[in-house]
Amino acid sequence: MNTHPYRRNHGFTMIELMVIVAVDGILVAVGVPSFNNFLVSSRTSALANDITSAVNLARSGRCQDSCRVNHPVSRNW
């Protein structure tokens, strides 16, 4: 029997808050390794693009007189 009929419950119970913290912890535990892999992949791609840009810049500087440039860099890194 409710002693205060006009009293409303505001907020969350302790059990609800503990469930939310547990679910958040699981999501973070799953997400952090994936995010780290994404960062490594992004950095690797950025470095490969920087190397490609440097090679193209060297080619363009060398070929201003219509010469051919050969470089030993293979496409299969």
29 contacts: CB under 8 Å, gap ≥ 6 = none
pLDDT of 38: 92
pLDDT of 16: 92
Domain range summary for the chain, segments of one domain joined by +: 14-49
CA angle 32, 37, 43 (to 5 degrees): 125
State how far the Cα of 5 lies from the Cα of 21, in Å rounded to an integer: 32
pLDDT of 21: 96
State how far the Cα of 54 lies from the Cα of 60, in Å rounded to an integer: 10
| Mean pLDDT in consecutive groups of 10 residues from the start of the chain, 77 residues | 64 91 94 90 94 85 62 59
Judge whether 55 and 71 are in contact, CB under 8 Å.
yes
pLDDT of 26: 94
Judge whether 54 and 72 are in contact, CB under 8 Å.
no
pLDDT of 7: 64
